[in-house]
Amino acid sequence: MFFETLKEVFQTFGSPVFVPVIIFIISKILKVNNKKAFFSALYAGVGLEGFTLLLNAFTPIITPVVKSMVENTGIQLPVFDVGWQATALVAYSTEAGMIFLGVGLLVQTVLFLTRWTDVFQPGDLWNNYSYMVWGSMIYMVTKNMILSLGCMILLNMYSLLIAELIAKRWSTYYKYPNCTIIAMHNIEAALFTVAFDPILNAFGLNKIKLSPEELQKKLGFFGEPVSLGLLLGIFIGIMGNFKALGTLAAWGQVATMGIATSAIMAIFPRVAGLFAQAFLPITDAAKKSVKNGSKSRKWYLGVNDATGYGEPATLISGIILIPIMVFMALALPGNQVLPVVDLLALPFMVQGIVPLVNGNIFKVLITGTIWFSAGLYMCTYTAPMFTDICASVGVHLPVGALLITSFNILGKPLMGLVFLAFLSQSPILIGIAVAVYLVLYVLFRKNKEAVYDYLDQNALKNTAEEAKSEITA
């Protein structure tokens, strides 16, 4: 009854209500006056609701275009990507998932209060479903609730570690003070990026300046975010209507796609500005406490990943990756997954990469292609289990599909390895998964500031200013 009530309350109010309440409480703890605390909370709610309205308006426009593009390829693969929405439905419909909804909230709060992590995760409760679906599959196979909860908790702790790892870069790049994203399915790629980006730099790829700012300088008015959005939308529209370009309806869809993408580019930064205002009083109060000699803690609020969706480099990279990932699904030997619905989630999925390469679109495309392609294999492996658990909660297979998956949620190589360790029920493999986390955690916490400085310096290698200084030297 408790878990059902918690689920109902959360689904009724959602992030646009929960986050403002949390921000108001935090503001008062930091002794922000009532007026500033109220408007801080209100701006957070307005910003989150604005993001939701934008995405809800954009999704019905881009969805048929992407589906047509996939259909035009003629790809025939047995595992159909039904999207993250089905995964969330499954997660919130299973016994294991519902238990974690309460247990996870308690664990996340305790880890923050005890300073195990400096990320306050309850600001983004919705994305807990990312852990819940893995744990639900564990329970379906093993019938062991302890094993299932153990898997979900460890996945949660891994994602908190990754969220804290990228917190400073994410906050700086997206210009949201003291914020980071926590959704496991959209930050996992950050670990790969940290390891892989120095290799790209060794080949000089950081000297290929393909950030939105550089595009604007080189392309003039065509490089403006609004113009880029128009051109990118038209490109995707043409690909989706390639076989029907002789019809007026096709060109109507192409034009609509262009204007809609341009609108996201134009409106999103304004909504983002409103959301960012919510954190200014908290930041100022924290700075004052330091000046007054009181102990201050640098911490980050976990926010929904919709906050970064429409940032130019993020949206451009995500949309360009749509046709790339369709091609990779066709070309990869042994892949059985046809990504469809979650192709729309690619601007969410690259947010673990974009800030670490400072918006270098070229590097985002390379890193994303490699990592998300590896994710297709994890989707292929887990599809039978996911299909079974979907059937158990009443999710029906699309016509013609033998198996189903979610490219965004289940296409996670590292998190999938943790899942497989628990699925094996082997104490040795589970112990290795725990040990790896502890080693990474200790190394990061002991060298946190050095790691942050390294990530900042590595990111700056992608800017024109860095390139000029290298030439001068």
Given phi > 0 = left and psi -120 to 50 = alpha, else beta, which region is 440? alpha
User: Dihedral (C-alpha) 84, 88, 94, 98: value to the nearest 10 degrees?
Assistant: 140
Query: With 70 as the cut, is the pLDDT of residue 101 above it?
Result: yes
382 pLDDT band (50/70/90 cuts)?
A: very high
Query: With 90 as the cut, is the pLDDT of residue 442 above it?
Result: yes
Other CB atoms within 10 A of residue 12 CB: 8
Chain mean pLDDT for the chain: 86
Does the residue 359 lie in any domain? yes
29 or 323, higher pLDDT: 323
**Predicted local distance difference test score (pLDDT) of residue 470:** 35
pLDDT tens by residue, 132-146:
999 999 999 999 999
| CA 350/CA 123 separation, integer angstroms | 21
| CA 251/CA 263 separation, integer angstroms | 18
Q: Cα-atom radius of gyration of the chain, to the nearest Å?
A: 22
**Predicted local distance difference test score (pLDDT) of residue 226:** 85
**Predicted local distance difference test score (pLDDT) of residue 471:** 31
**Predicted local distance difference test score (pLDDT) of residue 434:** 97
Does the residue 470 lie in any domain? no
Does the residue 232 lie in any domain? yes
| CA 308/CA 296 separation, integer angstroms | 27
Does the residue 473 lie in any domain? no
**Predicted local distance difference test score (pLDDT) of residue 20:** 84
Element (H, E) at 81: strand 79-81
Does the residue 445 lie in any domain? yes
**Predicted local distance difference test score (pLDDT) of residue 315:** 92
Does the residue 471 lie in any domain? no
User: Dihedral (C-alpha) 115, 116, 118, 123: value to the nearest 10 degrees?
Assistant: -100
pTM as predicted: 0.85
Q: CA angle, 30 as apex, 29 and 31 as ends, to 5°?
A: 90
Query: With 80 as the cut, is the pLDDT of residue 116 above it?
Result: yes
Query: With 80 as the cut, is the pLDDT of residue 11 above it?
Result: no
293 or 177, higher pLDDT: 177
Proportion of the chain above pLDDT 90, given as a percent: 46
Query: With 60 as the cut, is the pLDDT of residue 465 above it?
Result: no
Domain hosting residue 188, numbered range? 1-289+298-463
Does the residue 458 lie in any domain? yes
| Least confident segment among 9-23, 63-77, 459-473 | 459-473
Q: Which residue has the tokens 């590097």?
A: 363
126 or 388, higher pLDDT: 388
**Predicted local distance difference test score (pLDDT) of residue 98:** 84
**Predicted local distance difference test score (pLDDT) of residue 468:** 40
pLDDT tens by residue, 397-431:
766 668 889 999 999 999 999 999 999 999 999 99
**Predicted local distance difference test score (pLDDT) of residue 82:** 85
**Domain total for the chain?**
1
The residues facing 80 across adjacent strands are: 338, 404
Does the residue 279 lie in any domain? yes
Question: DSSP letters along 138-187, please?
Answer: HHHHH--HHHHHHHHHHHHHHHHHHHHHHHHHHHHHHT-TTEEE--HHHH
**Predicted local distance difference test score (pLDDT) of residue 422:** 97
**Predicted local distance difference test score (pLDDT) of residue 72:** 81
pLDDT tens by residue, 256-312:
999 998 998 888 888 878 888 877 777 676 656 545 545 567 889 888 888 898 899
pLDDT tens by residue, 319-362:
999 999 999 999 999 999 989 889 989 999 999 999 999 999 99
Q: Which tokens is 380 given?
A: 């292929």
pLDDT tens by residue, 188-234:
999 999 999 999 999 988 888 888 777 777 777 666 878 888 988 89
